[in-house]
Amino acid sequence: MEDATILDFEFEAHANPVAVADRAAILENPGFGKVFTDHMVVIKYSVEKGWHDARIQPRGPIQMDPACAVLHYAQEIFEGLKAYRLPDGGAALFRPEANAARFRESAERMAMAPLPDELFLNSVRELVKADRDWIPDSEGGSLYLRPFMFASEVFLGVKPASEYLYMVIASPAGAYFKGGAPSVTLWISEHYTRAAPGGTGAAKCGGNYASSLIAQAEAIRNECDQVVFLDAVENKWVEELGGMNTFFVFDDGSIQTPPLGGTILPGITRESLLTLARDAGITVREERYSIDQWEADARSGKLREAFACGTAAVVTPIGRVRGRETDFTIGNGGPGILTEKLRADLVAIQRGEAPDPHGWLQRLF
């Protein structure tokens, strides 16, 4: 069996890559998740061979058998990270080792074959190098990377699969929210929860997102941008949005975020912001916060700001919260001073425009 941490990648160049002029036009306004680069990573796993056959090949469709295990038993996980263009024209990844560790932990929770961290890191490095010309130069642009893995064994039967396919695709990205919204409005989900104790809330698996879609659709129907989920036990504690962590900023300058405990995804942007806040001498609390307290603090002025964060959206101010029986505004309904500062500090590090005291950037070229 090969040592998966030192697999060599076979490279097959795309015979008909996107033309230079067409690519340049795309990169002027790529949106989010709409267009993709020329190549992708594919690595296979089987119980007999372990991880093997690592390839960078032209991006294209996946051929699947109707009895492919993922279609029936949903063994699937994914990650999201970005490559940034640096001021000198080079490129870097932001904290990819944290994504590698979370990907491995998600695999273990879903009874899937863990991908060695170094193989994860090599896969994203090699894809960015192959498609380096797809990294936008525009302000706020980045190359979004989507590593994912699914059970590829052909069988019917409730058991962990013995074969998996790991892949990475890449997509040039602009603003996550349409129009670069100055703030978002949230809808409180009363009937649906995202995760429960003992469940898969801390794993980045597709099922968590699938179960959130009905609540997100309800939010959209009520003219809100995102749904905010409460805990599954008491239905009162704020947990997270459909795909982002939440933060609260108070009148004494302190910040608070719901604590991790198995029902909340351990966001890498979340952890980075906590570190930057502590570096700046800001009092940070990881404590539960009820929806009733959120409303009361917003109305009294004790709560000055709130924001959501994640790899795709980075930091997004929360301006308003609505529900069937409530509707309240946070601060002035737009970006707050501390929210903007934390976002600016994080983005400056990600783009190589500020010192990187924690060694978060991994330069590629």
Q: Give CA–CA dist 62/169, Å, rounded.
A: 12
Q: Supply the mean pLDDT for the chain.
A: 95
Q: Give the residue-averaged pLDDT of 267-287.
A: 98
pLDDT at 181: 62
Which residue reads 């279609």 in tokens? 71
pTM of the full structure: 0.95
pLDDT band at 3 (very low <50, low <70, confident <90, very high): low
Q: Give CA–CA dist 134/327, Å, rounded.
A: 42
| Contact in structure between 224 and 206 (CB atoms under 8 Å) | no
Of 45, 12, 178, 202, residue with least CA distance to 109: 202
Q: How far is CA 7 from the centre of its chain?
A: 26
Q: Give CA–CA dist 7/5, Å, rounded.
A: 6
Q: Which pLDDT tens digit goes with each residue over 295-312?
A: 999 999 999 999 999 998
Is pLDDT above 90 for 120?
A: yes
DSSP string, 261-317: SSSS---HHHHHHHHHHHHTT--EEE---BHHHHHHHHHHTSEEEEEEEETTTEEEE
Q: Give CA–CA dist 227/209, Å, rounded.
A: 12
* H-helix or E-strand spanning residue 23: helix 20-28
Residue 41's contacts (CB-CB under 8 Å, 6 or more residues apart) are: 9, 54, 55, 56, 123, 124, 126, 127, 147, 166, 167, 168
Tally DSSP H helices, then E strands, for the chain.
8, 18
* H-helix or E-strand spanning residue 124: helix 117-130
pLDDT at 180: 53
Which residue reads 């038993």 in tokens? 73
Q: Give CA–CA dist 323/277, Å, rounded.
A: 30
